[in-house]
Amino acid sequence: MTNIKVTERVRTIEYAIRDVIIHARQVAKTGKKIFYLNIGDPVAFDFDTPQHIKQALIKAVEEGENAYSASEGIPELREAISQKEKRVNGVDISAEDVIVTQGISEGIQMVMAALVDAGDEILLPGPTYPPYISYAKFFGGKPVTYKTVEEELWQPDIDDLKRKVSRKTRAIAIINPNNPCGALYDEKIVKQILNLAGEHDLPVLSDEIYDQIIYEKKFVSTAHLAKDVPVIGLNGFSKAHLMTGWRLGYLYFYDQKDELKELKQCIEKEARIRLCANTPVQKAGVVALNGPQDHVKKLVQKLKQRRDYAWKRLNEIEGLSCAKPEGAFYVFPKIHAVGQKWKTDKEFVLELLKETGVLFVHGSGFDLVYGAGHVRGVFLPPIETLEEAFNEVERFMKRNS
């Protein structure tokens, strides 16, 4: 017998996007080809980190930029982020308002650690990116999801959000463009969320990692609209700059009335106890923001073609329906026979994987209420690969109709 006790907060951690890979590995051992449509990593497909960014990393290492750096981030990167936010999103922040993180995930962890005590609530769009749920729980809080409406391209339901604000609410989160739905929130909706936050003296957490991966419409940053409502922005380099494995992100504090001062100081303390973000990668991050940006436009052009194909094809498969993604690179189709042919969306995902090798993520992994009955997939692979995968899905659905 062992006396080693594992904490409940760790025992109960879930991350559906990567948890399903365990099942895929077992299926792969049988020799079946796996179509990995589960993780939002463009670099895992036919997108590559731009050469000038790679060279900047090599140069930084060779020139000796290999020591610990400032916990908040190197000054030139914080300044470059400040300028990028002004240039791209019309957000007026200074370099001192920025904290560099090791990917956006560390930023989520830091914010949740600073905001959430036992019993506190964080309002999240349902469905939502799983780490928001997991970290809220990890620190003893309660993630509360507000409804987004599938028939309206997953726009937030403001009436539902209003009903869910309570004395225990500590912040309202927005993920825009949205993961897992690909929704791009209307400017009017974002303003309504900001007004609600202002009425209740709540900060808004705004995850904008896909701010430059949008298709027909225009993205408007939350902080650009916020006026005097405090906003904590979360963003990073993984997606638009194709630097997923480099783990570089940032937080910023838009704070016209100095209401986030103590929160910022406490998050700076968190930054210190993890020492710093990767120093040479930060140097490359400066070049990513200040150097050529052609790769972003090319990325979006390629993704739009794949989005159009994936969305059209999924809606042609009997038993599936899919709202049109307006940003990011995800589809979130509804599986109409969940609750009938399949008890749960996870059962559907595992059966599909076993029979076809196509790996989606169960929608309930993004929220048990508003994600249930759906699956999330990426449209990152080339169209030929997507066609092969969706052919398998179509045959599977016909066999089970």
Q: What is the 3-state secondary structure (H, E, C) of 183-227?
A: CCCCHHHHHHHHHHHHHCCCCEEEECCCCCCECCCCCCCHHHHCC
Please report, as a single letter, which amino acid is at residue 1.
M
- Tokens representing 224 are 């650009």
> What are the sequence ranges of the domains in the chain?
8-48+295-399, 51-290
Per residue of the chain (401 residues), give pLDDT as tens.
568 888 888 877 776 666 777 888 888 888 889 899 998 999 999 999 999 999 999 999 999 999 999 999 999 999 999 999 999 999 999 999 999 999 999 999 999 999 999 999 999 999 999 999 999 999 999 999 999 999 999 999 999 999 999 999 999 999 999 999 999 999 999 999 999 999 999 999 999 999 999 999 999 999 999 999 999 999 999 999 999 999 999 999 999 898 999 999 999 999 999 999 999 999 999 999 999 999 999 999 999 999 999 999 999 999 999 999 999 999 999 999 988 998 999 999 999 999 999 999 999 999 999 999 999 999 999 999 999 999 999 999 999 87
- Tokens representing 163 are 């009903």
- Distances 211 to 84, 88, 239, 381 between C-alpha atoms, Å: 12, 9, 9, 21
SS3 of residue 381 by DSSP: coil
Q: How far apart are CA 55 and CA 57, in angstroms?
A: 5
The candidate with the shortest Cα–Cα distance to 215, out of 377, 325, 322, is: 325
Element (H, E) at 24: helix 16-28
Instruction: DSSP letter for 160, please.
Output: H
Where does 8-48+295-399 sit in CATH, by number?
3.90.1150.10
The answer to whether the beta carbons of residues 362 and 345 sit under 8 Å apart is yes
Q: How far apart are CA 38 and CA 339, in angstroms?
A: 22
Phi, psi angle pair for 205, to nearest 5°: -95, 125
Q: CATH second-level architecture of 51-290?
A: 3-Layer(aba) Sandwich (3.40)
Please report, as a single letter, which amino acid is at residue 308.
D
- Tokens representing 170 are 């500590």
Instruction: DSSP letter for 3, please.
Output: -
The answer to whether the beta carbons of residues 298 and 349 sit under 8 Å apart is no
The model carries a pTM of 0.93
Per-residue confidence (pLDDT) for residue 193, from 0 to 100: 98
Strand partners, 327: 214
Q: How far apart are CA 348 and CA 129, in angstroms?
A: 20
Q: How far apart are CA 145 and CA 227, in angstroms?
A: 25
SS3 of residue 6 by DSSP: coil
SS3 of residue 148 by DSSP: strand
Element (H, E) at 176: none
Per-residue confidence (pLDDT) for residue 28, from 0 to 100: 84
Please report, as a single letter, which amino acid is at residue 302.
K
Q: How far apart are CA 140 and CA 115, in angstroms?
A: 11
Give me the residue label for tokens 């009955």. Answer: 373
